[in-house]
């Protein structure tokens, strides 16, 4: 069964929420989760989105590990 799908956050919205430059956000969204990337998915050929809960969990990990972003 599917859980309700939120709109998803764009790289621009993640950049605005975190203060990370948009190019770096795209890098994290294209990186594997195992390498520290933001869990994300493509909608069509260009649109890259991430679920808000996934971004929040990723941000908490980044803050705890003191990773340079």
Neighbours of 64 (CB within 10 A): 8
- Whole-angstrom CA distances from 8 to 26, 33, 57, 64, 65 are 14, 17, 14, 24, 25
Q: Is the pLDDT of residue 2 over 80?
A: no
Residue pLDDT, tens place only, 3-60: 666 779 999 999 999 999 999 999 999 999 999 999 999 998 889 999 999 999 999 9
Closest CA to 61 of 26, 28, 22: 28
| pLDDT at position 63 | 80
pTM: 0.81
């Amino acid at each position: 069964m599917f859980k309700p799908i939120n709109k998803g956050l764009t790289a621009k919205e993640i950049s605005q929420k975190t203060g990370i430059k948009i190019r770096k956000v795209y890098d994290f969204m294209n990186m594997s989760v195992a390498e520290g990337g933001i869990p994300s998915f493509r909608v069509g050929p260009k649109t890259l989105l991430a679920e808000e809960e996934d971004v929040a969990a990723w941000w908490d990990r980044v803050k705890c590990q003191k990773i340079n972003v």
